[in-house]
Structure 1
Amino acid sequence: MIGRIRGILVEKQPPQILIEAAGVGYEIQLPMTSFYQLPDAGEEVIVYTHFVVREDAQLLFGFANQSERALFRELIKANGVGPKMALTILSGMSAAQFVHCVQQQDVNALVKLPGVGKKTAERLLVELKDRLSSLLGENTDNHLAAQPQTIENTFVVSDDPKEEAISALVALGYKPAQISKTVNNLHRQGMTSEDLIREVLRSML
């Protein structure tokens, strides 16, 4: 099991990064909530990871802290939720926002995320209610209980922030036509792809 990687951040192409540690380059997919917290390329970074082994692939998912990773692991235990959907959920809302949804049994907030239908959202709320209570009890710092603040994919490397943002959001499960329109509407001069992704995801809540 690969639980943590410390190394140099070589590439950032949301939602994927490349970290070089001890001469090995690790490709890691992150939820955007963790991606926003990364330093600039060329700097040292520490990422907590979850390793997924399948018949056709070996995938690393990374997180800014152990609380986000713990929530990811709870999500993929839920019936019908795989790593890709868990990554999408944690990109669309922070760990604190998700916990707040569970505490309030807020189905409407979850169904706004791509791939999360009403039945899936209702099942998540039911299955995770007790498990999150247990998880919160194990975290004495109570990071996840804070009130919310305000994958085998193809990644397109581009100097155009709009193209990068669209590529990342499509990789997370959003429909190209819908995302292209939203990105174009929200794009402002000087915005980076990360700025754009943040604004698009915020507009979806």
Structure 2
Amino acid sequence: MDVLELLEGAGLLAPGAAAGPDDPTVLEVWDLLAHDGWETVLTLLEEPGTNPPIPPEGWAALAAAAEQLHLAHSAAWCHWRHCEARNDLVVRAELELPPLGEGPRGTAFAGAGVMRPLWDIGDRTPDGGPNLAVAALWAEHTPTLGPGERATVRLGPLTPARWRDLRPGRRITMHEGSPVVGTATVLEVRRVFG
């Protein structure tokens, strides 16, 4: 199956009359592809305009297309969005790491969903201690994040149900083991299809 078949089969290309002003149409995509604009096509589809949210199968198709095109970062992003759609949950926060020497982290980490730290989101164990939750971290528009830096991040919870009651403005802490290595303020918690 070629890339275009994957995209059409996933229902990601709107016919001209059905497309919103910011949505790519089948004809526009064909024109881009004819001029080797594969990466542009994938980027257009990764951030849909007025079309309904892309279902998990659509994100899986986009990830497969990106992999066929050897676009590793796009493939990773589409896999991330596939998980958000499958879990029907988007969690975004503003994360700040303490400056070098003031926190336990001494090096930067990759921002593209590789790190899976623990988070104190306010849940408590029966004895009153923090019941930490695991969530992967994707730093938006930031390839790496290091001491003293801040970024808007997306969090991919291992157990999404534990995160659904968070509200914007809530402060949560990131942990690697027991020490706090970062503090985040929740910006958004929403259902993908809600």
TM bin, normalised by shorter chain, reads under 0.3
Q: Which of structures 1 and 2 has the bigger CA Rg?
A: 2
Higher RCO (Cα < 8 Å, 6 or more apart)? 2
Specify which structure has the higher proportion of strand.
Answer: 2
Question: Which TM-score applies when normalising by structure 1?
Answer: 0.24
